[in-house]
Amino acid sequence: MRAMVLDAPATPLKERVVPRPEPAAGQVLVEVAACAVCRTDLHVVDGELTQPKLPIIPGHEIVGRVVRAGHGVQGFAIGERVGIPWLGWTCGACPFCLGGQENLCPEARFTGYQIDGGYAEYAVADARYCFPISGGYADAEAAPLLCAGLIGYRALTMAGEGKRLGIYGFGAAAHIVAQVARHQGRRLFAVTRQGDAPAQAFARRLGCVWAGGAAEEPPEPLDAAIIFAPVGALVPAALRAVRPGGTVVCAGIHMSDIPSFPYDILWREKRLVSVANLTRQDGTAFLALAPQVPVVTEVEILPLAAANEALARLREGRLTGAAVLVPGLRPAARSA
């Protein structure tokens, strides 16, 4: 099969023909129809996440169809459409797994990081961590739901019920969370890179009542803020922007160092929390909610061989919505 492979951190992915994987007991073999590109992939490729299996095939927002099932797989039929997310395996026996926090399992393994992922024509996955993807969404439109969507949803839940919500960094996750938050009746304030007029226009188009640059402060005190951009300097900025008792949620897996800040901006019972990974319960809840909102994903479809280009544009902030790699799309036939 064709795959885009990372041999070493901070080197470009190589397009390569590798053996098609075989499903072990409990695994499904999935023909990849679409795999969205997540900022976490960028952190793996750039070496900011330091424990990848190498070489590794990145990609953890996978939509495809089951072509074979290993011994003992239950719940998935051949030909069924499934989604493969970031959480690929947990121990099932530690206090976190037993306490409803499998996202914090110290033995957890992750798709596209310790398990080969979806920048390929096929992938294998432990069936217990896959989700059925019912109709309504095209393959490429469903792919960003699997991380941008459901980890964004976990972050939104952690932000609490407050009506005035700040969103710091307006990319793939933000564009999905904004739709859910609007559906919940919240007022949204988007903070983008300074001077990023296209991202600000995108945020306003998705219903944000205000969109501005990182040097500006939202015009009203916020009840909560979610930081999607991997920029530590946004933490004190968001703490200043939330009201007493408000919450700041850091939603990314990696962030640059947070500059020191006066205790005064945390005082008055403001809370600063992070979101790590996902549980299967998050996935089930969000995938049921998305069509009811309905969440509409804005995707740019690219051939598999364009993975390096997609990552470069994500790194530079030159993507609107989510980039999605489609192995069946040949470079000559690319769209968008």
Chain residues binding Zn ion by CB under 5 A are 38, 40, 90-91, 94, 97, 105, 147
Query: What's the token pair of residue 84?
Result: 């493969």
Q: CB of 216: closest distance to Zn ion in angstroms?
A: 28
Q: CB of 324: closest distance to Zn ion in angstroms?
A: 13
Strands 14-17 and 2-5: antiparallel
Q: CB of 306: closest distance to Zn ion in angstroms?
A: 18
**For residues 35-63, b (16+ Cβ closer than 10 Å) or e, as one string?**
bbbbbbbbbbbeebbeebeeebbbbbbbb
Q: Nearer to Zn ion by C-beta: 150 or 237?
A: 150
Closest of 129, 21, 132, 36 to residue 79, by C-alpha: 132
Answer yes or no: are the C-beta atoms of 227 and 248 closer than 8 Å. Answer: yes
Q: CB of 20: closest distance to Zn ion in angstroms?
A: 24
> 99-105: which pairs have CB atoms within 8 A and are 24 or more residues apart?
100/279, 100/281, 101/279, 102/279, 102/280, 103/276, 103/277, 103/278, 103/279, 103/282, 104/276, 104/277
Q: Nearer to Zn ion by C-beta: 99 or 244?
A: 99
Q: Nearer to Zn ion by C-beta: 152 or 236?
A: 152
Answer yes or no: are the C-beta atoms of 147 and 174 closer than 8 Å. Answer: no
Q: Nearer to Zn ion by C-beta: 91 or 293?
A: 91
Q: Nearer to Zn ion by C-beta: 104 or 266?
A: 104
Q: CB of 93: closest distance to Zn ion in angstroms?
A: 6
